[in-house]
Structure 1
Amino acid sequence: MRPRQTVLLVLGIVAVAATLGLLAIGAPLLWAHGTQRDDAGYYTLQSERLATPTYAVSSERIEVFADVHGGRWDRVVDQLGTVRISVDDLTGKNVFVGIARTSDVTAYLGTASYDVVSDLSGGQPLYQRHDGAGAPAGTPAEQPFWVASADGAGRQTMTWDVRRGDWTLVVMNADATPGIDVAARAGVRTDALGPVGAGFLGAAAVTGLVAALLLAGAVVGLTHDPGPASGSGPAPGSSPVAASGAPTGLGRSRTAAPTYPVRVDARLEEPLNRWLWLVKWILVIPHLIVLAFLWLAFGALTVVAGISILLTGRYPHGVFAFNVGVLRWHWRVAYYALTLGTDRYPPFTLGAAPDYPATLSIPYPEQLSRPLVLVKWWLLALPHYLVIALFGGTSWWAVNGDDRLAYNLGLVGILALVAGVTLAVTRRYPTAVFDFILGMQRWTLRVAAYAALMRDEYPPFRLDLGGTDPGDRPSPPPPAPAPAAGDDELARI
């Protein structure tokens, strides 16, 4: 790529990242505004149990534009809305809930012991204990400094119009005795959520348009290099299925040649260092950073390509060349750090790099199906996604008291670990493991190209094992026709 295209690509990727960030904020805000309000217009959080043997449970200091004064900031604060706190005592006592200036609350509680809620995110409140030997100075309802409060038997609900300053929320027994056990629920009513969400989505639309223009400028003029040709496979630019006379798309070839236009090849470069595989995942961190941004551009340009295919039936040449380059880069890094098939560091290039032991080539399709664009990347590819999840591993959130991330290595990761340990012990990479890993990764890359709309031929449900892609192998000769009855006698005449 020329320097001008590189600059446009970098700026386009930054714009794509900004667009995704704005969407990640704006879309949930609009969703919450439309679906998560109760009949009174409040966005309500789940109920939390607050229990302590001390005299009170308080919030941490709540700062609302505390360091600014008057003018436009007061008008901004007025738009923040109303907070509603509902409290149910679980022991049958009268309960008090109120909010006041932090300085007044601190002075009132004085030397009494109380708990400050420091975290509610883990499903169980975390407290910071303020130790004291005394008691509060009188019952809470007698104090004149509360800006909003409620007390009595049963459920008590306090509403507070948000104002500028430092504030503290307090829950106590109405008679100021120790030992509190309540269920509390907070809600907020505001008119700002909808406009703010719409504003973020509007900004996302602008940055998305800018990203599309920048990325289009970056890929204009790029030409597709189909990669190195080897063996007697199909010529670049032609589909093996189409060449056989069978229908393309979801049709199946009637020939015996197990070919597919996405060609993934690799050669095992032995001898390999016995211990380098332990740190390869660290060595490729620069590649992973670059690939993170390249995949952002890949996704955005695939959307552009999809629109182009819908309108014209053609994949833009420059976008195709760029997306093939991203797949090549990804495959070289995966081959080095995950497959462990070479110790040669991957090059930083979108080009073909035919001298590197891992190569990928995809012939450019002159015409693509317009209707398939709408379904092949999600509906038709769904069965393959399930298989790939088995190959590559999955992650999920497990909740058992605490949130934690669980991850399954998948078959590729497990077999790569087996290959690394075997390499360390025997100095040899097990050939059967190498062939199987290549088959799984070849399957994954074929599906990636299909889901990115780069080909219409449906990926086969087939493990093509080994480093040499079946497209690079000579087609087997057609079987000789069986002699018809009586042929032997005719030949003797």
Structure 2
Amino acid sequence: MLVAGVLLAVFGLGVTAAGAAILVADASQRDGQYAFTDTDRLQTVGHAITTVPLTIHVDEGATVGPYGLDDLISLQLRATPVVPDQDVFLGIADASDVAEYLDDVPHAVIGDQPWDPGYSAGPTYDWGSGMWGSGRDAEAALDEVPGTRAPEPPADQDFWAQSTTGAEQQTLTVDLRSGDWVVVVMNADGSRPVWVDVQVGAHTEVFGLAGPGVLVAGLVALALGLPLILVATAGLGRDIDRDIDRGLGRHADPDDLPGPGAGALPAGVGPDPLRLTGHLDPQVSRGMWLIKWLLAIPHYIVMALLWFALVVTTIAAGLVVLFTGRYPRAWFAYSVGVLRWNWRVGFYAYSVLGTDRYPPFSLAPTDYPAGLDVAYPERLSRGLVLVKWWLLVIPHLLIVGILTGGGAALTRASEYGGAEWNISLVGLLVLIAAIGLLFTGRYLPRLFDLIVGLNRWVYRVGSYVLLLRDEYPPFRLDQGPEDTGEPVR
């Protein structure tokens, strides 16, 4: 049920966002308006700038719903001379005629390969101006074609299907007709160089046809998926509580708990309601950490589903807290279970590397070197739920950003841009520990205590952001495998 709910909700979110974007785009084209790209400035030392041939095949008289093809999509081309008082020519013609006209004439062709320099980025939409950005460097995409002769003035030729010329901005509305077409921009007298600003605009009725249906489909998927998620997470939470009531978790005597966590303070005892433990495996392998991240891939897939459902559950629980002051017990148990699962996988694979024992596929407490629990609050503040997850937690988020975000960066410049790799402070410390483990066979105990303490800080903040508690996370680094509630000096 949870998998079906998550898939439906993800699909619904994507389709709803697409439907909303389509409707916004349709609104920008009302009353015959065109949506234009940003202005690209093109310059060549040749006599012309052309596009590559564009092949179009349409059935004459074909319709889509109530619209003919001419109504369904229409293109406009704009060309504005950069040099004052320079007449510019803008035309479209059959590719064979253009090839004959520009044979042995130096000119530039706008590149068509997606891997060409300047075409590596996709289009972008500016919501403020309603303009589509090309996402490319137009000048870098020009392919210069050499030649030895000068052409006749383009306006004197009779093969143009459509053309316009003048000293101001020239606009050409392109009809949708079958053929191999090339767009040409030149100086009106055929001279060189050519230096123009160009834009491409489109008007289509497809948005108006598809937008409402896409939006409704997305909303229906959300209406089906979100309740499934909430019901499924509540069921999982009740299962966790049943396991705890059998003596596997926080309601058992701490001295009877299995595993190395025995004797640790239960959640809610001491100054902090979250208890995070992590015990170093003395027999941890020298080199297994090299493949642990790969072995944990099944966990990553499951965690992606669990975390999406956790976001939905947290929003729903926040609304319940806002009106009742209580966090639904089943959803609380589920949320803590996801944090527990996340901590086990991190302890094993990437955030500590403290054990070689494969983490269990379970949300409930188990016999494992890494454990996490949060004491259930009987009452929560109704007002804090509105501000604690984003406003009050800002100081902690800055610290967590340093611990888990890009603390260091290595940038490799390239001809077409830059590639950047980031490593967090916790990641750097874990890497140091892993290298030491590889060469010495030992995990430095003090380094292990520090790494666990930093993770404990992160999870305390996480439990607060997820609305699990009202107690503000302490600005305190509690190191070591057990959370004693006292800072290590």
Shift of 1:149: 2.8
Q: Deviations over 1:329-385 (max 9, x none)?
A: 211111112211112222233332x22211111233333222222111111122211
Shift of 1:446: 1.6
**Counterpart-to-counterpart distance in 1, 2:389 and 2:20:** 23
State which drifts further: 372-381 or 320-329: 320-329
**Amino acid paired to 2:438:** A
**Counterpart-to-counterpart distance in 2, 1:136 and 1:69:** 38
**Counterpart-to-counterpart distance in 1, 2:308 and 2:349:** 21
**Counterpart-to-counterpart distance in 2, 1:400 and 1:25:** 34
| Residue 52 of structure 1, aligned match among 44, 47, 50 | 44
State which drifts further: 315-324 or 97-106: 97-106
Change (3 A) 1:428 1:62: same
**Counterpart-to-counterpart distance in 1, 2:22 and 2:396:** 34
Alignment of 1:261-280 (within 5 A): 261-280=273-292
> Could you say which residue in structure 2 is the equivalent of 1:4?
none
Change (3 A) 1:194 1:417: farther
> Could you say which residue in structure 2 is the equivalent of 1:449?
463
Change (3 A) 1:138 1:75: same
Change (3 A) 1:355 1:125: farther
- Is 1:340 the equivalent of 2:353? yes
**Amino acid paired to 1:417:** L
Contact 2:75-2:173 at 8 Å conserved across structures: yes
Q: Deviations over 1:30-81 (max 9, x none)?
A: 66677x89999554433322222333222234466x3555432463652435
| Residue 125 of structure 1, aligned match among 139, 147, 151 | 139
**Counterpart-to-counterpart distance in 1, 2:397 and 2:23:** 30
> Could you say which residue in structure 2 is the equivalent of 1:325?
337
Alignment of 1:451-490 (within 5 A): 451-470=465-484
Contact 1:110-1:136 at 8 Å conserved across structures: no
**Amino acid paired to 1:72:** T
Q: Deviations over 1:161-207 (max 9, x none)?
A: 55254543221222334532333234445676578666554443322
**Counterpart-to-counterpart distance in 1, 2:481 and 2:24:** 48
**Counterpart-to-counterpart distance in 1, 2:20 and 2:475:** 37
Alignment of 1:22-101 (within 5 A): 22-28=15-21, 41-62=33-54, 66=57, 70-73=61-64, 75=68, 78-90=71-83, 93-101=86-94
Change (3 A) 1:101 1:435: farther
**Counterpart-to-counterpart distance in 1, 2:87 and 2:136:** 28
**Counterpart-to-counterpart distance in 2, 1:401 and 1:32:** 35
Contact 1:99-1:146 at 8 Å conserved across structures: yes
Secondary structure at the aligned position of 1:443 is classed as helix
> Could you say which residue in structure 1 is the equivalent of 2:102?
109
- Is 1:157 the equivalent of 2:175? no
| Residue 228 of structure 1, aligned match among 218, 230, 249 | 249
Q: Deviations over 1:239-292 (max 9, x none)?
A: 45xxxxxxxxxxxxxxxx4x3112111101022222222232222223223322
TM value normalised by structure 2: 0.78
> Could you say which residue in structure 2 is the equivalent of 1:487?
none
Q: Deviations over 1:300-320 (max 9, x none)?
A: 222222222223333333333
- Is 1:417 the equivalent of 2:440? no
How high is the sequence identity, in percent, across the aligned residues?
38
Contact 1:305-1:319 at 8 Å conserved across structures: yes
Aligned residues: 443
TM value normalised by structure 1: 0.77
**Counterpart-to-counterpart distance in 2, 1:308 and 1:195:** 39
Secondary structure at the aligned position of 1:460 is classed as coil
**Amino acid paired to 1:294:** L
> Could you say which residue in structure 2 is the equivalent of 1:3?
none
**Amino acid paired to 2:222:** G
> Could you say which residue in structure 2 is the equivalent of 1:316?
328
> Could you say which residue in structure 1 is the equivalent of 2:296?
284
Contact 1:302-1:453 at 8 Å conserved across structures: yes
Shift of 1:15: 1.5
State which drifts further: 123-132 or 410-419: 123-132
Unaligned runs of 5+ in 2: 112-118, 120-133, 255-261
Secondary structure at the aligned position of 1:221 is classed as helix
Shift of 1:27: 4.9
**Counterpart-to-counterpart distance in 2, 1:404 and 1:318:** 47
Unaligned runs of 5+ in 1: 1-7, 241-256, 474-493
Shift of 1:324: 2.2
Q: Deviations over 1:93-119 (max 9, x none)?
A: 432222345455445434545332223
State which drifts further: 391-400 or 277-286: 391-400
**Amino acid paired to 1:49:** R
Contact 1:450-1:458 at 8 Å conserved across structures: yes
Alignment of 1:288-437 (within 5 A): 288-338=300-350, 339-352=352-365, 354-394=366-406, 402-404=416-418, 406-437=420-451
Contact 1:12-1:210 at 8 Å conserved across structures: yes
Change (3 A) 1:407 1:470: farther
Change (3 A) 1:208 1:77: farther
| Residue 142 of structure 1, aligned match among 156, 170, 173 | 156
**Amino acid paired to 2:5:** G
Secondary structure at the aligned position of 1:408 is classed as strand
Alignment of 1:163-312 (within 5 A): 163=176, 165=178, 167-188=181-202, 200-222=214-236, 223=238, 224-225=240-241, 228-229=249-250, 230=254, 239-240=268-269, 257=270, 259-312=271-324
